[in-house]
């Protein structure tokens, strides 16, 4: 095995965190080659450093900090469902207001009310039905008279 | 994770018991703080993240089903809060691990160690790789637990760990002389 092959294999073993199945050929090469031995030691040094990451866990905060944190969190606590209900109520109110506004505008446009342009309001007495009085709204734009009141 | 789960009184949390809140911070606080610190590289931000995480936990605890394991649920909220924190535009430019050497026990200048160097290099990893690496090597979570917390496959976790080790090895190979001189 060449030094290059040995180093590639050692690097693979290191990357996979698996030193258990180092082949005899690699071990023999390491025992003979000083450079590869150094490379192996370097990987071991790095591996040991990684393994030591979970040791020496010094406290980053005091118990007082945690006590205060728990208090702050509790002070700000709002039950989830209540929060959702609050937002739902706001959303529904906005939707209802929008619906009413848009609906009103749409309705008024459809009925053409108030009519645009010249309009006229007059009282009509019917010849065919004596005694009948009708108040008629005549819009120029539509042309169709609208009976507002009849007696 | 199961062992610590038994200590958490979920019903008491749901009932708003203040002792249960404190108990939760006692059991998970330090671990959460370390994860947040090594992810963000800033102690103040780590405190803010843990506080925000605890707030989210308490706000959502009523939707948590008692029969489910608590720890993965808790740490998933923490990890997501860390990610959201990092997405903030202005925080991207903050210098990482500004006070790593000032925290007692992490990397004492009197006894420089390779572990301190590794901790600084972890900050240079891409976010997902960094989180997987911290959870596994720093906090001893298993591959299965990490896949649950991050909601990714176990294979992805293994690949990220392998890439993380390769990341450190390649950097160590290139700068070995300087590193050993510093240590």
What is the pLDDT averaged over residues B164-181? 82
In terms of Cα–Cα distance, which of B84, B79, B87 is closest to B141?
A: B79
Of A16, A35, A54, the one marking the end of a domain is: A54
Give the tokens for residue A46: 């790095």
B126/B180 Cα distance (integer angstroms): 25
Distance CA B77, CA B99 (A): 25
Is B132 a residue whose pLDDT tops 70?
yes
Compute the nearest-CA separation of B30 from chain A (Å): 7
Q: Which of B26, B117, B172 sits opposite A66 (nearest CB)?
A: B26
Residue A27, domain member (yes or no): yes
Angle of helix B18-40 relative to helix B70-87, nearest 10 degrees? 50
The answer as to whether A85 is a domain residue is no
Q: What proportions of chain B, in percent to the nearest 5, are helix, strand and coil?
A: 75, 0, 25
Handedness of CA B122, B123, B124, B129 (dihedral sign): positive
pLDDT given for residue A98 in this prediction:
92
Distance CA(B163)–CA(B126), nearest Å, equals 10
A33 near B CB under 8 A: no
If we measure between CA atoms, which residue out of A115, A122, A127 comes closest to residue A147? A122
Flag whether residue A35 sits within 8 Å of chain B, measured between CB atoms.
no
Print the domain residue range for A143: 119-150
Is A57 within 8 Å of chain B by CB?
Answer: yes
Q: B162: closest CA among B150, B174, B154? A: B154
Q: Is the Cβ pair B172, A80 closer than 8 Å?
A: no
Token readout for B74 is 């808790």
Mean pLDDT score, B83-104? 58
The pTM of the full predicted model, rounded to 2 decimals, is: 0.65
Determine which of A18, A42, A47, A49 to mutate to test the interface with B (most B C-beta atoms within 10 Å). Answer: A49
- Mean pLDDT for all residues in chain A: 77
Residues contacting residue B124 through CB under 8 Å, at least 6 positions apart = B96, B167, B171
Disruptive mutation site among A9, A16, A62, A66 for chain B (greatest number of B CBs within 10 Å): A66
The tokens for B5 are 């789960």
Give the closest-approach CA distance of B172 to chain A in angstroms. 8
Question: What pLDDT score was predicted for residue A72?
Answer: 66
- A69–B contact, CB cutoff 8 A: yes
Query: Which residue in A has a C-alpha nearest to residue B19's C-alpha?
Result: A70
Least confident of B72-76, B82-86, B173-177: B173-177
ipTM value: 0.75
Tell me which of A32, A54, A76 is where a domain ends. A54
Spatial contact of B7 and B23, defined as CB atoms under 8 Å apart: yes
The interaxial angle of helices B154-174 and A3-15, nearest 10 deg, is: 130
In a domain, A24, yes or no: yes
Residues 6+ apart with CB under 8 A from A100: none
Is A64 in CB contact (< 8 Å) with chain B? no
Q: Which two tokens stand for residue B132?
A: 């997987």
pLDDT tens for each residue of B28-68: 888 898 888 888 877 788 888 888 888 888 888 888 888 88
Is A80 inside any structural domain? no
Q: Which helix (H) or strand (E) holds A121?
A: strand A119-125
pLDDT band of B104, cuts 50, 70, 90: very low
Q: What per-residue confidence (pLDDT) applies to A115? A: 55
Cα B26 to Cα B7: distance, rounded to the nearest angstrom: 11
> According to the per-residue pLDDT averaged within each range, which of B51-60, B106-115, B157-166 is highest?
B157-166
Which residue does chain A place closest to B105, by CA atoms?
Answer: A58
Query: What is the 3 state secondary structure string of B117-182?
Result: HHHHHHCCCCHHHHHHHHHHHHCCCCHHHHHHHHCCCHHHHHHHHHHHHHHHHHHHHHCHHHHHHH
CB contact under 8 A, B137 and A61: no
Q: How far is the C-alpha of B11 from the C-alpha of B20, rounded, in Å? A: 9
The number of angstroms, rounded, from the C-alpha of A100 to the middle of its chain's C-alpha atoms is: 28
CA torsion sign, A54 to B105 to B78 to B7?
positive
Q: What are phi and psi of A150, to 5 degrees?
A: -145, 135
Residue A60 has pLDDT above 70, yes or no: no
- Mean per-residue pLDDT, B127-151: 91
The answer to whether residue A140 is domain-embedded is yes
Q: Which pLDDT belongs to residue B111?
A: 44
Query: In Å, how far is B131's CA from the nearest CA of chain A?
Result: 14
pLDDT at B25: 83
Give A16 or B14, the one with higher predicted confidence.
A16
C-alpha count within 13 angstroms, C-beta hemisphere, residue A53: 23
Residues of chain B in contact with residue A76, where contact means CB-CB under 8 angstroms, are: 55
Cβ–Cβ below 8 Å for B51 and A73: yes
Among A46, A74, A80, select the one facing B168 at the smallest CB separation: A46
* Chain A residues in contact with B140 (beta carbon < 8 A): 54
Please report whether residue A105 resides in a domain.
no
Domain count, chain A: 2
Please tell me which residue of chain B has the smallest CA distance to A73. B55
Mean pLDDT of B150-156: 93
pLDDT digits (tens, 9 = 90+) for A80-124: 555 566 777 888 899 999 999 998 888 877 766 555 556 677 777
- Look at residue A23 and tell me if it is in a domain: yes
pLDDT-based confidence at residue A66 (cuts at 50, 70, 90): low
Is residue A25 domain-resident?
yes
Domains in chain B and their CATH numbers? 1-95 (1.10.1740.10), 103-183 (1.10.10.10)
Higher pLDDT, A78 or A65: A65
CB contact under 8 A, B137 and A69: no
Measured between CB atoms, does A16 come within 8 Å of chain B?
yes
Structure confidence at residue B110 as a pLDDT band (50, 70, 90): very low
Of the residues A21, A39, A54, the one at which a domain ends: A54
């Amino acid at each position: 095995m060449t030094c290059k092959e040995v180093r590639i294999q050692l690097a693979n073993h290191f990357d996979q965190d698996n030193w258990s199945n180092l082949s005899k050929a690699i071990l023999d090469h390491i025992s003979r080659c000083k450079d590869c031995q150094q490379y192996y030691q370097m990987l071991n040094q790095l591996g040991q450093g990684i393994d030591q990451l979970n040791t020496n866990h010094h406290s980053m905060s005091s118990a007082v900090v945690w006590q205060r944190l728990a208090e702050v969190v509790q002070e700000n606590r709002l039950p989830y469902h209540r929060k959702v209900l609050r937002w739902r109520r706001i959303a529904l109110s906005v939707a209802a207001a929008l619906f009413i506004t848009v609906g009103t505008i749409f309705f008024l446009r459809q009925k053409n009310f108030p009519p645009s342009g010249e309009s006229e309001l007059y009282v009509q007495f019917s010849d065919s039905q004596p005694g009948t009085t009708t108040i008629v709204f005549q819009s120029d734009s539509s042309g169709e008279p609208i009976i507002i009141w009849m007696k | 994770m199961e062992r610590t789960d038994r200590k958490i009184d979920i019903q008491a949390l749901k009932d708003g018991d203040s002792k249960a809140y404190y108990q939760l911070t006692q059991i998970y606080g330090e671990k959460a703080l370390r994860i947040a610190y090594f992810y963000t590289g800033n102690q103040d931000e780590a405190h803010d993240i843990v506080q925000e995480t605890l707030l989210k936990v308490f706000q959502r605890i009523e939707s948590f089903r008692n029969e489910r394991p608590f720890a993965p649920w808790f740490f998933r909220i923490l990890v997501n809060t860390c990610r959201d924190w990092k997405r903030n535009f202005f925080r991207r430019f903050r210098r990482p691990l500004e006070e790593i050497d000032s925290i007692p026990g992490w990397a004492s200048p009197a006894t420089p160690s390779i572990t301190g160097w590794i901790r600084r290099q972890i900050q240079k990893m891409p976010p997902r790789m960094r989180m997987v690496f911290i959870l596994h090597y720093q906090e001893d979570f298993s591959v299965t637990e990490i896949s649950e917390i991050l909601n990714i496959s176990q294979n992805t976790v293994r690949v990220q760990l392998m890439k993380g080790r390769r990341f450190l090895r390649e950097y160590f190979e290139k700068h070995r002389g300087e590193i050993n001189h510093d240590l």
